[in-house]
Amino acid sequence: MAVLTVIGGSRHNPQALFPTGSCRHILAVTREGGPPVAAEATSWQKEQVSRAYVHALATQGGYTLCDWNVDKDGVDVTLRSGPWMVDIQLKCTQSPRIVRGGFSFDLDVETYDKLRNPDRSAPGHLALLIVPPDIGRWVIHQSESIVLACHGYWASLHGLGCASGSVTTAIHLPEHQPLTVKAMGTMFDAARRMANSAGRGVN
């Protein structure tokens, strides 16, 4: 027998979803005599909400977004601002691994090596989107708005060293690097510096 338990938060108050600025369980399903079980969304649902999140920020920031149909080069989306481009690999989780000062995500080494490659034409980044455990709370409908109840963090992988593992490598996503419109501006600043240092500056 399963028992639904509301641990915290309010359906009509999105601020209550992440009251401390970090994720915590809001809704849990508990089996009698067993540990809590959180409903797991499918990978395509996580991918699509991640794209929606980045698309909304890019739109607000005035950036265009290229949505690749095949993740062949370790890139899900590319942001563009004039001649400058930024590559992002998107990941999404309902159960983030919280570490001191942020979050940790195990990225496969193949993708890591592609994103850290110093010969890229655009700097590679990892973005981790954290969604509530219950998919029913990902989107909150209000009278004059729709709230996407999730938050994201980012890390630049461009030029980093070799992976620590043979299959996956842990990427630290600092809590002070939330994925916001301002963060996208920081990514473009890095893209300009990368191009200038490589002698590829735009005239």
The string of pLDDT tens digits covering residues 118-152 is 889 999 999 999 999 999 999 999 999 999 999 99
Give the β-pairing of 139-141 and 97-99: unpaired
Cβ–Cβ under 8 Å, residues 50 and 91: yes
Nearest to 48 by CA among 64, 33, 67: 67
Cα–Cα distance, 97 to 94 (Å, whole number): 10
The interaxial angle of helices 43-61 and 181-197, nearest 10 deg, is 80
Mean pLDDT calculated for residue range 35-49:
80
Please report which confidence band the pLDDT of residue 59 belongs to, taking 50, 70 and 90 as the band edges.
Answer: very high
Q: Is the pLDDT of residue 111 over 50?
A: yes
The string of pLDDT tens digits covering residues 147-181 is 999 999 999 999 999 998 999 999 999 999 999 99
The answer to whether the predicted template modeling score (pTM) of the entire model surpasses 0.85 is: no
